[in-house]
Amino acid sequence: MNRSGWILLLALLMPFGTWAGCLDNTRLTGVNLAGAEFNSKKLPGVIAKDYIYPSNQELAFVAAQGATIIRLPFRWERLQPRLDRAFDAAELRRLQTVITQAQLHDLCVLLDVHNYAKYYGEPITSAAQQDAFVHLWVDLASTLGNPEYVALGLMNEPAYIPLADWATLAKRTLAELREAELSHLVMVGGGGWNGLHSWFSEQEGISNANAFAKLEDPLKRTVIEVHQYADRDYSGTAQDCYPPLHFDLPFARISQWASDNELQLFLGEFGVAATQPCLETLAHFLQLMRGNEWMGWSYWAGGRWWGNYPFALNSNPLNPSPQWAPLKAAFYRGGDLSPPLPPEDATH
């Protein structure tokens, strides 16, 4: 059977939502575990000095809170120090170790090339660079296998190439993954800074809404990833937050877009400071993603190297970060509505 026939057969036998493992028709709700993408000016860098991967203890703690997924940011240059050449064996083992440990805790892993559409600081605009990007994902997915637990996040916030170029490259990467008979769940982020609030805003005559409308995947295992911060310019750099209702319209608009285009959404990054107004906005974000248009979300961010970063989640069971409470209340736990909603006539 040729490759096209294999894809069609697999799509018929295993429609979206029937895949085994932790990606089996569940909402994927969890956190980013940051550290492997740190110190982008020190590339490739030295492990445990310039960057770090999540420990088994961190994974166990996140799983114990009720998460079903971690988003794992890492740098392309560390995995592949020379463009379109072999993977660094030690770095590949680090990725594989995290995946193995996460699977033992029944956590999916969303691999996130955290490069902003750059490689060693240069935008990936040439044909050779873009070919190498496609080969990166085909080779990595082929090497790792495990589509029941491993999802592919093509590129974090590809702001350094034009939106139209990114859309073309993302679609090509998806097509070549499927042509290579790779069935992993794929997360396709929008161009630019991938903001939910700016999904319909045009850049050079095109918007993410237009570029990714009716995105096609023969296996129907592709999800649109967006990001959204709550501070004054949506950058995730300030400790203030817009009030909860400020976000009702943009969430409703993109949810309707996803429904119209027969796609699902994943909020790959969102985070707030531990102030009462921001925690209220965080709780509202989680309510706004209860619809079927949402595959899930991952909070930014956990990881043991954050220091005093105001959005950070710790792994201290005796004194957990205040952000854990609304996240734990919203983590997927199975069933048609999870967490369950109270009866409409409930009194308090």
Catalytic center residues: 157, 269
Q: Rounded CA gap, 250 and 257, in Å?
A: 11
CB atoms within 10 A of CB 1: 8
C-alpha pair distances (Å), 27 with each of 5, 11, 61, 90, 261: 30, 21, 19, 32, 19
Q: Which of 284, 131, 110, 95 is nearest to 188 (CA)?
A: 110
Q: Rounded CA gap, 249 and 263, in Å?
A: 19
Are the CB atoms for 223 and 25 separated by under 8 Å?
Answer: no
Q: Rounded CA gap, 111 and 24, in Å?
A: 17
For the chain, what is the total number of helices (H) and then of strands (E)? 10, 10
C-alpha pair distances (Å), 333 with each of 28, 50, 298, 311, 341: 10, 36, 15, 24, 13
Nearest 5 degrees, angle CA 215-CA 217-CA 223?
65
Q: Which of 48, 30, 38, 46 is nearest to 102 (CA)?
A: 30
Containing H/E element for 63? helix 56-65
Residues 6+ apart with CB under 8 A from 129: 83, 119, 122
Distance of alpha carbon 219 from its chain centroid, rounded?
19
Q: Rounded CA gap, 21 and 104, in Å?
A: 11
